[in-house]
Amino acid sequence: MEGKIRNPSVVFSNEKCLGHNITFFPSDWVLYVMHFLCQDVEKKYELEIERLNRKLKWYAENQELLDKDSDLLRKKDADIKELQEKVEFLQTEVR
């Protein structure tokens, strides 16, 4: 649980938990504790989203590299085939 527990006799308003506004009253100990638990879960959720976004970015960058390499290999294969055809043509002319 993150954060320090404050004086429970204080009324907290406009606290947010998973996007919802919550108002705390002194008798709402359970809500008060749940709020801090909720903040912890929310922080873990945000960290997981960040981790997954970094992973997704890595996959996208990696796919770009693979696509570039694939295009380059196709061009090299076409060049090799063209050169082989020229060699065959020249060999037939020499004979």
Residue 6 lies in a domain: no
Identify the residue whose tokens are 């008060």.
32
Query: Is pTM, for the whole model, over 0.75?
Result: no
How far, in Å, CA of 19 to CA of 22, rounded? 10
The number of domains in the chain is 1
Specify the 3-state DSSP secondary structure of 23: strand
Contact at 8 Å (CB) between 38 and 2? no
Structure confidence at residue 26 (pLDDT): 58
Q: What's the rounded mean pLDDT across residues 56-67?
A: 96
Domain ranges, residue 42: 12-94
Specify the 3-state DSSP secondary structure of 28: coil
- pLDDT tens by residue, 3-32: 555 554 444 455 666 666 666 555 666 777
Structure confidence at residue 1 (pLDDT): 43
Beta-carbon neighbour count of residue 17 at 10 Å?
16
Residue 2 lies in a domain: no
